[in-house]
C-alpha cells in the first residue's frame, strides 16, 4: 500500500495536479492518513453492505483547499435547507405528471441521449455527446435512465454499477435547457432506488454540486444522508465546484 501511495504522489507531481482524491475501504484508511490524506466524506456499509468507505484528499497546493467566504456560506446554506427538506420514506414518492414517464434507456436511445447531452453541457471532460461512447459505457457496467414527455427525452442520468462492491453511483444528470429548475431529476432518483435491488446493489451514492439547492434537496427528499463535502473537487462548466456526497441503503 505504501508503494502505491508513493506512485500516486509521484504521478500527481509529474502532472502538476493540485489535488489527489480517492475512495478507500476501512482497512486502508490509516495508511493513507499517515501519508497526509484527510477524510472529506464517509459512507457506512459502502462495500458489500458491510465495510465503510472513505473519500480522501491530499492537497498538493494549499490554495486548492481554500474556498471564499461566500462559497462556504452558500455550501452551508444548501446543507441546512436540504436537511430540512428530508421527508419520511413513505412520503418520498410522487406521481408523474401528464405525459411524463421514466424508463431505463437501451442502445436505440443513445442517439437521443447524446443529443440531450450536447444541449445540456457546453463542455464535459468525457465524450458523452457521442452515441458510440455511450454504447461503450452501456457495455461496461453503466446504465442510463430517462424522463420523457410525450416521447421526447428531457432528463437523463448515468448510473455506474460496481458488482464487486454491491454499490452503484448516480454519476450525472442532464436536463434539457427548457426544463431546468423543475427538479425533474427527482423522478430519476426515485426510479433508480426502486431498481437497485434487482441490480444487486446494497448502497447508492452520488456526488452533487454543493452549491445546487435543487439537487441536494432532491436527494434529501429521497431519504439520502449527507456523508460529507469534497472541496474544490470537480470542473463543471468551466467552474471548480465542491461536491456533496449523498448516500442511502
pLDDT at 92: 55
pTM as predicted: 0.91
Average pLDDT (20-34) is 95
Over residues 80-98, the pLDDT tens digits come to: 999 999 865 555 566 787 8
Instruction: Kindly state the greatest CA–CA separation across the chain.
Output: 57
- Contact between 41 and 54 (Cβ < 8 Å): yes
Domain holding 238, by residue range, is: 69-248
Single out the residue in 65, 85, 109 at which a domain terminates. 65
Cα angle 236-71-177, degrees, rounded to a multiple of 5: 40
pLDDT at 94: 66
Residues 50 and 80 in one domain: no
Residues 147 and 190 in one domain: yes
Residues 91 and 43 in one domain: no
Residues 115 and 223 in one domain: yes
Residues 53 and 172 in one domain: no
Single out the residue in 65, 88, 108 at which a domain terminates. 65
Over residues 146-177, the pLDDT tens digits come to: 999 999 999 999 999 999 999 999 998 999 99
Single out the residue in 25, 44, 65 at which a domain terminates. 65
Burial classification of residue 116, based on how many CB atoms lie within 10 Å of its CB (0-12 exposed, 13-18 middle, 19 or more buried): buried
User: Residue 173: helix, strand or coil by DSSP?
Assistant: strand
**Percent of all residues in the chain with a pLDDT value above 90, rounded to a whole number:** 82
pLDDT at 84: 94
Going by pLDDT thresholds of 50, 70 and 90, the confidence category of residue 236 is confident
Q: Is the pLDDT of residue 51 over 80?
A: yes
pLDDT at 93: 61
pLDDT at 87: 65
96, 220, 221, 240 from 88: Cα distances, Å: 19, 10, 8, 33
- Contact between 222 and 249 (Cβ < 8 Å): no
Rounded CA gap, 40 and 100, in Å?
Answer: 38
- Contact between 146 and 105 (Cβ < 8 Å): yes
Rounded CA gap, 62 and 85, in Å?
Answer: 34
Residues 33 and 140 in one domain: no
Residues 57 and 79 in one domain: no
Residues 6 and 126 in one domain: no
CATH number of the domain at 221, please: 3.40.630.30
Over residues 184-217, the pLDDT tens digits come to: 999 999 999 999 888 889 999 999 999 999 999 9
Rounded CA gap, 4 and 16, in Å?
Answer: 18
Residues 83 and 123 in one domain: yes
How many domains, the chain? 2
Amino acid at each position: 500500500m505504501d508503494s502505491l501511495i508513493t506512485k500516486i504522489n509521484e504521478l500527481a507531481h509529474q502532472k502538476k495536479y493540485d489535488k489527489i482524491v480517492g475512495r478507500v475501504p476501512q482497512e486502508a484508511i490509516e495508511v493513507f492518513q499517515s501519508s497526509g490524506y484527510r477524510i472529506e466524506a464517509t459512507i457506512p456499509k459502502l462495500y458489500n453492505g458491510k465495510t465503510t468507505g472513505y473519500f480522501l484528499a491530499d492537497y498538493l497546493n494549499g490554495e486548492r483547499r481554500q474556498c471564499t467566504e461566500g462559497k462556504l456560506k452558500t455550501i452551508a446554506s444548501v446543507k441546512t435547507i436540504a436537511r430540512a427538506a428530508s421527508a419520511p420514506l413513505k412520503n418520498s414518492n410522487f406521481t408523474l405528471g401528464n405525459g411524463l414517464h421514466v424508463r431505463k434507456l437501451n442502445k436505440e436511445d443513445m442517439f437521443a441521449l447524446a443529443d440531450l447531452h450536447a444541449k445540456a453541457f457546453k463542455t464535459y471532460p468525457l465524450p458523452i455527446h457521442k452515441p458510440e461512447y455511450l454504447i461503450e459505457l452501456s457495455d461496461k457496467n453503466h446504465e442510463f435512465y430517462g424522463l420523457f414527455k410525450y416521447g421526447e427525452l428531457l432528463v437523463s442520468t448515468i448510473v455506474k454499477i460496481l458488482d464487486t462492491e454491491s454499490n452503484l453511483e448516480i454519476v450525472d444528470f442532464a436536463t434539457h435547457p427548457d426544463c431546468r429548475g423543475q427538479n425533474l431529476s427527482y423522478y430519476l432518483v426515485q426510479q433508480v432506488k426502486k431498481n437497485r435491488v434487482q441490480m444487486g446493489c446494497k448502497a447508492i451514492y452520488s456526488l452533487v454540486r454543493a452549491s445546487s439547492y435543487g439537487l441536494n434537496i432532491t436527494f434529501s427528499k429521497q431519504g439520502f444522508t449527507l456523508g460529507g463535502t469534497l472541496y474544490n473537487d470537480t470542473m463543471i462548466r468551466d467552474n471548480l465546484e465542491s461536491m456533496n456526497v449523498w448516500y442511502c441503503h
